[in-house]
Each structure stands twice: as C-alpha cells, then as structure tokens.
Amino acid sequence: MSSLNDFRGNNYEILTYEEPKKYTFEELQKLTFNEFKHLTMENLSNINSKELNYLFQKHNDAINLREKDKCPECDKHRYFDTTYCELCNSKRFSNNFSKWAGGLPEIDKLIEESQLNARTPSELVEWIPYYEIDIKENIADGGLGSVYRAIWKIGPIYHERPWDVKKQKWIREGEKEVAIKVFRDAYTFSPEFQNEIKASLKLQLQSSSFMNNIYGITYDPQQEKYCTVVDFHCDGDLRHFISKFTRK
C-alpha cells in the first residue's frame, strides 16, 4: 500500500494570497453599488446580520447580480456565494483522477463523485496522501476506533477564492488543525466507514456553518487502515464528537 502516498500532483501547491479586506459597516456604507456587488462574505465578516440586511436593502439587487457573476475562464455562472465554478472545477478534478488512487474502488468512486458534483469546496472530499498529515497526539480510543489531533500541512482548498486563474493552481489555507478518525475495521470500505462519510457530507450540504467538515480520506500505512480527515473542534463540540465516535 506504500504507493498510495507517492503522488505529489502539481495542482496541489500552497499559494500565498492576500488576506481579503474585512470592511467595517461605516466603510461599506460608502461603497458604490458596483463596488459592493463584488464583495464576498469574508469581506463582510465583521458586520452583524442587521447591518448586512441594511446593506442588501440599500443595494436591493446585489444578490441577484452576484448570482449572475461569471467565471472568467468559461464565462458561465458560478454558484451563489463563492468564486467556485462548478463547470471548470469538475473538469479539473476529472483530469486529475488518473494521478491518484485510494486503493479501493469504492473510496475512489465516492471521492470522484463528490468532486464532480461539488458546488463549493465544502462539498467535496479529497484523497489526502498520508505524508501531508502530521500526527500530534492521540485523543481517544473506543469501540469504533481512535481519534488523533493532527496538522494537515497544506490544508483544505480556500473557500472564498479556491482557484488562482493566473497561476492555474488551487489556493489552500496552509497548515490546518484537523482530527484523524481511524476506524477499527477500516481495512476495507466497511459500513461504519461509509456511513461516517455519507453522514458528514449530508450535514455539510444542510449546514452553512461548516462545523462538521470532512476534508478527505487518507490511509495510515503503519496501522494499514483508512481514516477520515475532519475539522477539529476545540470546544464542547469536540467532546461530543469524540464521545459519539468512541462509544461502543
């Protein structure tokens, strides 16, 4: 199984990017309609919902125009609240399918389908080579398996600006604290493993909070087991997360 982690694809480079400006309410009030309509939700993260509603009412068709924003590469419409172009990115992933393999057809199919159908980066699952994972500590062991705190060295695809058109590269967050869930019987694509991934994806599709993100699947060559790479919570959600996974 050592061949699983050999691929270092050219499209998975960490790019530096300028942190998006986070406007104050006073600054936003001074923007023209044409300036306001190109903002992302990250630009608006410092204002509250009441202020946001006021601004959308002021520019009452800003949302409709954002829906009609076009991808600079294919000239087609994007999904609503990111610069993620479904058409272009599904092609990019498809062209890359031959450059990686999870080792099990069922896992490969699940990853490929998520990447072809994703409307935002939060809706896709990646194959994450194990060399990109730096395990920090064991958090818990239990009936379904073990949970580890780790660092994903290159991090997930950046949500607001996923693709650098000029450099033709994915933009990634860089080092990301994650939880690695190693399933007890994950030598194969077990029912528990399948249910975990499908349930997490369902939650991501239903929620805008991204609190239950599953970033991808990896393979631990030492334990010879498949694992999920998920968002790490440092609060009460983590305790619930561990309790639910490790109970018998």
pLDDT for residue 229? 93
Tally Cβ neighbours within 10 Å of residue 238.
17
pLDDT for residue 212? 52
C-alpha–C-alpha distance, residues 247 and 142, integer Å: 6
Comparing 30 with 95, the larger pLDDT belongs to 95
pLDDT for residue 187? 63
pLDDT for residue 243? 54
For the chain, what percent of residues have pLDDT higher than 90? 25
Tally Cβ neighbours within 10 Å of residue 166.
7
Looking at residues 213-239, what average pLDDT do you find?
79
Domain count, the chain: 1
pLDDT for residue 9? 47
pLDDT for residue 231? 87
Does the residue 181 lie in any domain? yes
Residue 239 CA: distances (Å) to CA of 113, 140, 147? 31, 10, 11
Does the residue 159 lie in any domain? yes
Please, which pLDDT band fits residue 1 given cuts at 50, 70 and 90? Answer: very low
Nearest to 139 by CA among 37, 45, 243, 65: 243
C-alpha–C-alpha distance, residues 175 and 1, integer Å: 26
C-alpha–C-alpha distance, residues 29 and 37, integer Å: 13
pLDDT tens per residue across span 95-148: 999 999 888 888 899 899 999 998 888 888 999 999 999 999 999 887 678 899
pLDDT for residue 7? 41
Looking at residues 217-225, what average pLDDT do you find?
89
pLDDT tens per residue across span 230-241: 988 754 444 555
Does the residue 40 lie in any domain? no
C-alpha–C-alpha distance, residues 25 and 37, integer Å: 15
User: 3-state DSSP helix/strand/coil percent for the chain, to nearest 5?
Assistant: 35, 20, 45
Packed helices 86-96 and 105-117: angle between N→C axes, nearest 10 degrees:
160
Does the residue 34 lie in any domain? no
Question: Kindly report the CA angle at 156 between 165 and 97, in degrees rounded to 5?
Answer: 70
Tally Cβ neighbours within 10 Å of residue 217.
23
C-alpha–C-alpha distance, residues 38 and 192, integer Å: 43
Does the residue 214 lie in any domain? yes
Say whether pTM exceeds 0.75.
Answer: no
* Domain housing 148: 2-15+101-246
pLDDT for residue 3? 43
pLDDT for residue 77? 67
Question: Kindly report the CA angle at 245 between 106 and 158, in degrees rounded to 5?
Answer: 65
Does the residue 35 lie in any domain? no
Looking at residues 82-90, what average pLDDT do you find?
86
CATH of the domain at 176: 3.30.200.20
Mind spelling out the 3-state secondary structure of 188-244?
A: CCCHHHHHHHHHHHHHHHHCCCCCCCEEEEEEECCCCEEEEEEECCCCHHHHHHHHH
